[in-house]
Amino acid sequence: MSSNSSSSKVVTVDEQAFEKAGGQAVDEDGFPVVDETPEFEAAVEQETQAKVDANHPDGIADTSEDRIHGVTLEQEERIRAREAELERISAQAELGTQDGREQRTREVVSEQCGRDEPAPAERTDPREMLTQEELAEVNEQAMRISDEVKGGWSRSVVAKQLAEKVQRGRDVTKAVLETLEELKAAPGAIVPIADVPDVPVGEVTVEGEIIELWSPSSSAIQQVGLIADDSGKIKFTCWEKSGQTMVREGQTVRFRAAAKNWYEGRCSIALTGWSRIEFPERGRWWEE
């Protein structure tokens, strides 16, 4: 006697409801579940712009093997330039680490030019080249010049200038005159008042006594008078805008950077805003 065996599949209520709904998910009451998640779609303007970008020549990537895919020509040029710059820097760094490269380069250049690199010239004191008699006279004249013109070069510098001229063939007398003129024109040198007209500069420094003051002829003038030393005297004018301190008769003063002026063949000096008044016997005026 044979028996028929049968198999059956148990189907749940939810699955039956799902099949009845045509494959759509249902809730526990058998109603279809509605998916409320919004679907994002491109706007018309975005779709239009995407088409323009896709068809623009700069947006089309070259498919050749030498091109970088996915970038524009401008971007690729920047990348290539940066890579080349990095390679150059790397090469320079590698060459710079070679010991003695600079020295070897100089040797190669010297060999190619067929001559050795000249040794640096050594500066020597011109006084060492003079005889004992010449040196003694130079030192004596340097002392005299330094006493005559103060505030400029030191005695040692004056002696070197004299020795250099004597070494070049000048006689001592001519060397003294030339050095004296150069010293008078040096910045800060106190020039004898009698030599002011002959000094080849536009500004001078003089020192002397205020021997006379008189009333200015213009409101633009602060003071006007005469200053004198052992060599002579000269008229000075102090302009109102210069802002200088007032001087009095009988005072010993030093006018620095006084401007030279000429009127009807006579030389005078003027104190401007660039000038300075000093009182050697009692220090500078602002230290009173």
CATH of the domain at 233: 2.40.50.140
For residue 236, give the nearest of 223, 249, 250 by alpha carbon: 223
* Under 8 Å between Cβ of 158 and 145: yes
Supply the range of the domain harboring residue 136: 130-184
* Average pLDDT of the segment spanning 9-36: 57
Q: Are residues 180 and 205 in the same domain?
A: no
Is residue 95 over pLDDT 70? Answer: no
pLDDT band at 183, cuts 50/70/90?
confident
Residue pLDDT, tens place only, 143-154:
888 888 877 778
**DSSP per-residue letters across 117-131:** PPPPPPP--GGGGS-
Q: Are residues 209 and 283 in the same domain?
A: yes
For residue 258, give the nearest of 230, 245, 277 by alpha carbon: 277
Q: Are residues 160 and 221 in the same domain?
A: no
Q: Are residues 180 and 219 in the same domain?
A: no
Please state, in angstroms and rounded to a whole number, the distance separating the CA atoms of residues 32 and 18.
8
* Average pLDDT of the segment spanning 76-80: 82
Please state, in angstroms and rounded to a whole number, the distance separating the CA atoms of residues 235 and 264.
13
Please state, in angstroms and rounded to a whole number, the distance separating the CA atoms of residues 246 and 239.
11
Q: Are residues 177 and 209 in the same domain?
A: no
**DSSP per-residue letters across 193-251:** GGGGGGSSSSEEEEEEEEEEEE--SSTTEEEEEEEE-SS-EEEEEEEGGG-PPP--TT-
Q: Are residues 174 and 205 in the same domain?
A: no
Assigned domain for 64 exists: no
Assigned domain for 103 exists: no
Give CA angle at 244 (242, 245), nearest 5°: 160
- Structural tokens at position 84: 């080349």
Q: Please count the structural domains in the chain.
A: 2
Please state, in angstroms and rounded to a whole number, the distance separating the CA atoms of residues 94 and 267.
70
Assigned domain for 108 exists: no
